[in-house]
Amino acid sequence: MKISTIAQLREMTPFEDIEKEMIHKMINFINAHENPMDQKLEVGHLTGSAWIVNKERTKALFTYHTKLGMWLQLGGHAEVEDESIKHTAIREAYEESGLESVKLVSEDILSVDIHMIPRQKGFPDHLHYDIQFLFEADENETLVITSESNDLKWISLEDIPSYNNEKSIMRMLEKGKIVYKE
């Protein structure tokens, strides 16, 4: 897992200098830890996210995250059965949306982000080294809300900044648009 993830990170074309810096930090983090996907690793851990767009590539699926109280892409922690962080993103896409039509658009990493998660349930503040992949799904399929979210919503790409304009979301939005044209 470590070797293939590092290889994929090295193959990425950074969108901006901050992403280049995050790629470098992720590679160092992966090299420094025996199991960087272990969510019990208190300094931080790898997470996998799914940027899910509709077939027309005009909307993205967002979840209103219960613990963080904000609209985000779907994703989360690795589980023991996940072979790679890509498999984490795939599993989370299915689990958090209930969509059977979800499919991975590209094996390549779409984007990366490193962000602080606040202290929760006795677990200290820690970093999520998030690796994000591009998915596609049928927006007409019924969504299934889980305990991890208060809501799921297909949001038009032009409206996304009014729901969440954090740099990581804007980066996925812009990088996704480039991939859509390929």
Per-residue pLDDT for 178 more than 80? no
Q: Which two tokens stand for residue 174?
A: 């812009």
* pLDDT tens digits along 115-124: 998 888 788 8
In 3D, which of 132, 105, 120, 154 has the Cα closest to residue 46?
132
* pLDDT tens digits along 4-43: 899 999 999 898 999 999 999 999 999 999 999 998 898 9
Contact partners, residue 67, CB within 8 Å, separation at least 6? 120, 148
Strands 70-72 and 74-77: unpaired
* pLDDT tens digits along 88-140: 999 999 999 999 999 999 999 999 999 998 888 788 899 999 999 999 999 99
Res. 180 pLDDT band, cuts 50 70 90: low
Res. 82 pLDDT band, cuts 50 70 90: confident
When comparing pLDDT for 80 and 145, which is higher?
A: 145
Q: What's phi and psi for 141, nearest 5 deg?
A: -70, 150
Q: Model's pTM, two decimal places?
A: 0.92
Q: On the CB side of 73, how many CA atoms lie within 13 Å of its CA? A: 37
Provide the sign of the torsion angle of the four alpha carbons 56, 8, 27, 129, taken in this order: positive
Q: What are the structural domains of the chain?
A: 2-181 (3.90.79.10)
Q: CA-CA distance, 63 to 8, in Å (whole number)?
A: 27
Q: Which two tokens stand for residue 112?
A: 């990366």
